[in-house]
Amino acid sequence: MPSPYLPNTDADRSAMLREIGANSADELFYDVPAQFRNVQFKLPPPLSELELKRELEELAKRNASLDDYVCFLGAGYYRHFIPSVVAHLTSRSEFYTAYTPYQAEASQGTLQATYEYQSLVCQLTGMEVSNAGMYDGSTAAAEAALMAHRITGRDRVAVLATVNPRYQAVIATYVRDQDISLEKMEPNLDSLPSDCACLVVQQPNFFGYFEDLRAHARKAHDSGALLIVIVDPISLGMFKPPGDYGADIVVAEGQALGSPLSFGGPGLGIFTCRREYLRQMPGRIVGRTVDRNGRPGYVLTLATREQHIRRERATSNITTNEALVALAATVYLAAMGKKGLRQVAELCYHKAHYAARAISELKGYRLVFPQPFFKEFVVRCPVAPQQINQALFEEKIIGGLDISHLVDNGMLFCVTEVNTKGEIDRLVKFLGEL
Amino acid sequence: MFRHYLLPDISQPGKVGCTLPPLDVPPAEPPPKELLREELALPEVSEVELVRYFTALSRLNYGVDTGFYPLGSCTMKYNPKWHEDIARLPGFAWIHPYQPIDSVQGALKLMFQLQDYLAEITGMSATSLAPMAGAQGELAGIKMIKAYHRERGDKGRRKILVPDSAHGTNPATAAMCGLEVATVPSDDKGNLDLKALAAMMNDEVAALTLTMPTTLGLFDPHIAQISQLVHERGGLLYGDGANLNSLLGKVKFGDLGFDCVQLNLHKTFSTPHGGGGPGSGPLCVKSNLADFLPSPLVVKNDKGYTFTSPAKSIGSLGAAYGNFGVMVKAYAYLRSLGAEGLKAISENAVINANYLKEKLKAYYHLPYDRTCMHEVVFSGKRQKAKGVRTWDIAKRLLDYGFHPPTIYFPLVVEEALMIEPTETESKETLDAFISAMREIAREAEENPEILRTAPHNTPVARLDEAAAARKPDLRWELS
């Protein structure tokens, strides 16, 4: 079947092969030893756009989309409202069909938007510098731990037990082959051992409640370690940013800022730090400069940290990142602005507290942690959370995350601004009837 | 002319960019005051100004939809539009990674089939879709190789051999895995120096990382000997699949002796690059490495599809399952092609590159004058003798309306110009590019100044990169 993505005709190909001096396309592959060439590939037959669209739409319908289900699930990936401008602007194909902005003069759109991104993210986290982004929140946390190891020269990474277990697992994957030991610490630790490179904490933590960041910062700094904070960027619309507590590196999952869930990817690894550590940062950074006529413009800068220049001495091997998701975050933050982001955070806060209170008043349910929380909270259920979730699913409700392996009959609920009072009341009603 | 401004310049107190619903529940007790933020200094911009600002920015960008983008080793092919619509279907875009497994069977089926198809295309036995970009696929691959040797009690293998033409990610990845890097030279034909490889290959070597075709755009005809040399001394052969576009539907990595290869769905499988990402870097391996794959894999049992973790997995690479949104587009691409379609891609890509090579080799120095694969590497050294650098040629191409090729890479070619046309470009487009390149070669002889001061027709003129690095200005501040 002719392909809409192959513009050359048979006549074009013949003319080109004549110019090349070859009799067939296959002749151009003669460097490949004959036994490896033109082997069989067992793949399904090609389908037209219309046929395949139908098939994929059918496949999509076999998933329970949050457009059709009420959702109280979070744990690092969140459903927040996305203004339509975000998708419209990120769908400008000058943005999404461009490569990494190596040729600055033809890439000012991406570069200036990234400069905006870096600025907005610093304003949000209270940190001094940001890179252009990492793969996701968990790999940003892992790269932060490696960066702390480079800065301090120490081989021990301390992670609080209240950090998202999936993040802990990714940090473990990343540090394993560098002879760095990973240690889990309880949040009430008195002090940090003197040979730790960093203390990794999450704010609000995996269980939804706020850590004593001031105390953690003191403990980390007293022992000469860096404080790495994993943060929920939406919470920063309302709550004090980690920069105010003296954090050295702040990372976050940026999906919540204007991107759909997409089954967990693509996400965005927000990565910010104190200016003194700039040259140890992984990933791309955009800087402002001038052109030869003195007009402002933007370029990729400080590239001597990166793999294509520094090779085995680079700060990371990362190259492709999540630029388009960072663009979505930029448009989202600009659209929300000062008032909007605060309002989103406040809506989350009040609705989550309304839900937590109503659930905890049900017979057999109680809140597990007494500390202040933002939009997530852990409930101890009277029966196995899995059983509850199955029943809720019948009612087109996706319940909280089953964390019974961490907290006896524990379920981690998440409530955001997209959950209406009606939805919360319905959840509470069904929980009460179980 | 574009008027330069930033978000704070159009921010005014009281402007809003969107509206939100009022609180519909009784307000809760406020949190302790010491937790609260006082100032949130974000810009305040109206929706219309926001839309005009980002639309203006988009017009300063050059994408595949703007024109020819022959960035070598990046495979900037056309990205079919309907794939974008499919990835945005609520059933794909609005599913939560931790919702009940029974409620995401469509997504898992797609992943399961994609794993299978990619294994078939590469001639491997298992695939993990978890890596979120090629470099993360590499990281996982080298970690697996290290785990493989460790498991066998073969502890002395602390080195990775990397060809001198390799991508920078190869040595950077080895270092991230706590391995030493030793560089293998290329010979005068652009192939790996077999004698050097034989001398370097010993029981300290964990693997050779090899891009095939190489970053010189050449297929190394000694691949079988290379594989044999590496394997008979206990090493493994790691494939960097960045250049798979030239082998699609023709040649399988597994047949060539590779134990493991990472793909770049955002290159070969036509998912858009997004101005730098998201990508997706699946890892395909032979059975000897399958147990070490990163977690999770999708498997099928009598109840349907589910996730599993391989027995000796190197662990997880992210908080979910990889860049699912990218996988959907790559899947759509694959299914629209079939085996014959894949073959048409590689053949057209290779014809296009060889056509450019023939038409330009009289004008630019061709360091390796032999049949190339999907890309051709020229050297700007003839122009350098006239005081014109490859950098200048690239900038001048912008004036002619083309995105420049990759430059100064691979490092083994002086003043390198690495041109990858891809299969989605027509002969007419290639002819126009050829004319521009010939014109630039003439300008280099007759009017080098016009190249040294290029570009002249872009939104900004040549930018001062040195100043940017000397005094980093990386953000605005607003209070």
Examine the domain organization and report whether B285 and B387 are in the same domain.
Answer: no
Cβ of B477 within 8 Å of Cβ of A325? The answer is no
When pLDDT is averaged across residues A47-68 and rounded to a whole number, the result is 97
- Per CB-CB distance under 8 Å, the chain B contacts of A122 are 475, 477
- Per CB-CB distance under 8 Å, the chain B contacts of A346 are 23
Q: Which of A330, A352, A384 is the last residue of a domain?
A: A330
- Per CB-CB distance under 8 Å, the chain A contacts of B16 are 337, 339-340
C-alpha dihedral (B220, B225, B230, B234), degrees to nearest 10: 150
What whole-number distance in Å separates Cα of residue A81 and Cα of residue A101? 30
In angstroms, the Cα distances linking A199 to A146, A180, A244, B202, B222 are: 12, 14, 17, 40, 50
Cβ of B342 within 8 Å of Cβ of A41? The answer is yes
Residue of B nearest to A31 (CA): B221
Indicate whether B129 pLDDT > 90: yes
Cβ of A103 within 8 Å of Cβ of B394? The answer is yes
Indicate whether B3 pLDDT > 80: no
Residue of B nearest to A352 (CA): B28
Residue owning tokens 């190489």:
B214
How many residues are listed for chain A in this entry? 434
Q: Taking a C-beta distance cutoff of 8 angstroms, is the pair B263, B244 a contact?
A: yes
Q: What percent of chain B has pLDDT above 90?
A: 99
Name the pLDDT band for A1 (thresholds 50, 70, 90).
Answer: low
Cβ of B90 within 8 Å of Cβ of A67? The answer is yes
When pLDDT is averaged across residues B10-18 and rounded to a whole number, the result is 96
CATH number at residue A358: 3.90.1150.10
Cβ of A308 within 8 Å of Cβ of B45? The answer is no
Of B62, B256, B329, which to mutate for an interface test with A (greatest number of A Cβ within 10 Å)?
A: B62
Examine the domain organization and report whether A77 and A89 are in the same domain.
Answer: no
Residue A9 lies in a domain: no
- Per CB-CB distance under 8 Å, the chain B contacts of A398 are 96, 99-100, 103
Examine the domain organization and report whether A273 and A353 are in the same domain.
Answer: no
Per-residue pLDDT of A350-372, as tens digits, reads: 999 999 999 999 999 999 999 99
Backbone angles phi, psi at A204, to 5 degrees: -60, 155
Structure tokens at A392: 């809720």
Query: Sheet harboring A249-253: ordered strands across?
Result: A129-130, A269-273, A249-253, A226-231, A196-203, A156-160, A181-185
Cβ of B28 within 8 Å of Cβ of A350? The answer is yes
Structure tokens at B124: 């491997």
Examine the domain organization and report whether A262 and A283 are in the same domain.
Answer: yes
Q: In B203-226, which positions are buried (b, 16+ CB within 10 angstroms) versus exposed (e)? A: eebbbbbbbbbbbbbbbbebbeeb
The pairs formed by A14-22 with CB atoms below 8 angstroms and a separation of 24 or more are A15/B427, A16/B351, A16/B352, A16/B354, A16/B355, A16/B427, A17/B351, A19/B355, A19/B358, A19/B359, A20/B351, A20/B354, A20/B355, A20/B357, A20/B358, A21/B358, A22/B354, A22/B371
What whole-number distance in Å separates Cα of residue B186 and Cα of residue B165? 7
Examine the domain organization and report whether A325 and A408 are in the same domain.
Answer: no
Cβ of B171 within 8 Å of Cβ of A37? The answer is no
Examine the domain organization and report whether B165 and B201 are in the same domain.
Answer: yes
Task: Please tell me the distance in Å from A281's CA to the nearest CA on chain B.
Answer: 13
Examine the domain organization and report whether B333 and B350 are in the same domain.
Answer: no
Residue A4 lies in a domain: no
* Average predicted confidence (pLDDT) for chain A: 97
Using alpha carbons only, give the angle B99, B102, B105 rounded to the nearest 5 degrees: 100
Picking from A55, A73, A122, the nearest residue to B98 by CB comes out as A73
Of A105, A119, A179, A299, which to mutate for an interface test with B (greatest number of B Cβ within 10 Å)?
A: A105
Picking from A58, A89, A138, the nearest residue to B319 by CB comes out as A138
Residue A209 lies in a domain: yes
Examine the domain organization and report whether A210 and A311 are in the same domain.
Answer: yes
- Per CB-CB distance under 8 Å, the chain B contacts of A292 are 453, 461-464
The H or E element spanning position A129 is strand A129-130
pLDDT at B470: 95
| Contacts across the A-B interface (CB distance below 8 Å) | 678
Residue B402 lies in a domain: yes
Residue A12 lies in a domain: no
When pLDDT is averaged across residues B115-122 and rounded to a whole number, the result is 98
- Per CB-CB distance under 8 Å, the chain B contacts of A420 are 24
Task: Indicate the DSSP class of residue A106.
Answer: G
pLDDT at B334: 97
pLDDT at B2: 58
When pLDDT is averaged across residues B297-324 and rounded to a whole number, the result is 97
Cβ of A16 within 8 Å of Cβ of B427? The answer is yes
Picking from B65, B69, B276, the nearest residue to A93 by CB comes out as B65
Q: Which domain holds residue A107?
A: 85-330
Per-residue pLDDT of A367-418, as tens digits, reads: 999 999 999 999 999 999 999 999 999 999 999 999 999 999 999 999 999 9
Examine the domain organization and report whether A375 and A301 are in the same domain.
Answer: no
Q: Which of B305, B321, B337 is the last residue of a domain?
A: B337
Cβ of B95 within 8 Å of Cβ of A261? The answer is yes
Q: Taking a C-beta distance cutoff of 8 angstroms, is the pair B456, B399 a contact?
A: yes
Task: Please tell me the distance in Å from B197's CA to the nearest CA on chain A.
Answer: 20
Task: Please tell me the distance in Å from B277's CA to the nearest CA on chain A.
Answer: 4
When pLDDT is averaged across residues B153-180 and rounded to a whole number, the result is 94
Contact residues for A11 (Cβ-Cβ < 8 A; gap 6+): none
Q: What percent of chain A has pLDDT above 70?
A: 100
When pLDDT is averaged across residues B273-286 and rounded to a whole number, the result is 97
- Per CB-CB distance under 8 Å, the chain A contacts of B255 are 35-36, 39
Task: Please tell me the distance in Å from B227's CA to the nearest CA on chain A.
Answer: 13
Q: Which of B272, B306, B337 is the last residue of a domain?
A: B337
The H or E element spanning position B67 is none
Q: Which of A330, A350, A365 is the last residue of a domain?
A: A330
Assembly ipTM: 0.98
Q: Which residues pair with A411 in a beta bridge?
A: A379, A402
Examine the domain organization and report whether B100 and B246 are in the same domain.
Answer: yes
Examine the domain organization and report whether B246 and B262 are in the same domain.
Answer: yes
What whole-number distance in Å separates Cα of residue B59 and Cα of residue B22? 37
Picking from B78, B319, B345, the nearest residue to A137 by CB comes out as B319
Of A5, A124, A389, which to mutate for an interface test with B (greatest number of B Cβ within 10 Å)?
A: A5
- Per CB-CB distance under 8 Å, the chain A contacts of B226 are none
Per-residue pLDDT of B371-398, as tens digits, reads: 999 999 999 999 999 999 999 999 999 9
Per-residue pLDDT of A182-198, as tens digits, reads: 999 999 999 999 999 99
Residue A65 lies in a domain: no
Per-residue pLDDT of A89-115, as tens digits, reads: 999 999 999 999 999 999 999 999 999
CATH number at residue B408: 3.90.1150.10
Residue of B nearest to A87 (CA): B88
Examine the domain organization and report whether A77 and A103 are in the same domain.
Answer: no
Residue A179 lies in a domain: yes
In angstroms, the Cα distances linking A278 to A249, B319, B473 are: 10, 26, 12
Cβ of B139 within 8 Å of Cβ of A85? The answer is no
Examine the domain organization and report whether B324 and B376 are in the same domain.
Answer: no
Residue A56 lies in a domain: no
Cβ of A89 within 8 Å of Cβ of B55? The answer is yes
What whole-number distance in Å separates Cα of residue A310 and Cα of residue B63? 28
**How, if at all, do strands A269-273 and A129-130 pair?**
antiparallel
Residue B397 lies in a domain: yes
Three-state SS letters, B36-62: ECCCCCCCCCCHHHHHHHHHHHHCCEC
The H or E element spanning position A159 is strand A156-160
Backbone angles phi, psi at B172, to 5 degrees: -65, -40
3-state helix, strand, coil in chain A (%, to 5): 45, 15, 40
Residue B50 lies in a domain: yes
- Per CB-CB distance under 8 Å, the chain A contacts of B251 are 29, 32, 36-37, 39
Per-residue pLDDT of A269-312, as tens digits, reads: 999 999 999 999 999 999 999 999 999 999 999 998 888 888 88
Picking from A35, A241, A264, the nearest residue to B97 by CB comes out as A264
Instruction: State yes or no: cis peptide before A372, omega within 30 of 0.
Output: no
Indicate whether B26 pLDDT > 90: yes
pLDDT at A2: 78
CATH number at residue A289: 3.40.640.10
Provide the number of structural domains found in chain B.
3
Structure tokens at A388: 């509850």
Provide the number of structural domains found in chain A.
2
How many Cα atoms occupy the beta-carbon half-sphere of A287 within 13 Å? 19
Examine the domain organization and report whether A311 and A378 are in the same domain.
Answer: no
Indicate whether B68 pLDDT > 90: yes
When pLDDT is averaged across residues B68-95 and rounded to a whole number, the result is 97
Task: Please tell me the distance in Å from B446's CA to the nearest CA on chain A.
Answer: 23
Of B150, B351, B374, which to mutate for an interface test with A (greatest number of A Cβ within 10 Å)?
A: B351
Examine the domain organization and report whether B356 and B445 are in the same domain.
Answer: yes
What whole-number distance in Å separates Cα of residue B245 and Cα of residue A414? 44
Q: Which of B308, B337, B366 is the last residue of a domain?
A: B337
Name the pLDDT band for A434 (thresholds 50, 70, 90).
Answer: confident
Task: Indicate the DSSP class of residue A362.
Answer: S
What whole-number distance in Å separates Cα of residue B218 and Cα of residue A72? 53
Structure tokens at B225: 């000997």
Examine the domain organization and report whether A202 and A315 are in the same domain.
Answer: yes
Indicate whether B56 pLDDT > 80: yes
Indicate whether B282 pLDDT > 70: yes
Q: Which domain holds residue B14?
A: 7-58
Q: Taking a C-beta distance cutoff of 8 angstroms, is the pair B163, B184 a contact?
A: yes
Three-state SS letters, A204-250: CCCCCECCCHHHHHHHHHHCCCEEEEEECHHHHHCECCHHHHCCCEE
Examine the domain organization and report whether B249 and B110 are in the same domain.
Answer: yes
Examine the domain organization and report whether A184 and A219 are in the same domain.
Answer: yes
Indicate whether B230 pLDDT > 70: yes
Examine the domain organization and report whether A98 and A227 are in the same domain.
Answer: yes
Indicate whether B98 pLDDT > 60: yes
What whole-number distance in Å separates Cα of residue A184 and Cα of residue A186? 7
Examine the domain organization and report whether B139 and B220 are in the same domain.
Answer: yes
Examine the domain organization and report whether A358 and A275 are in the same domain.
Answer: no
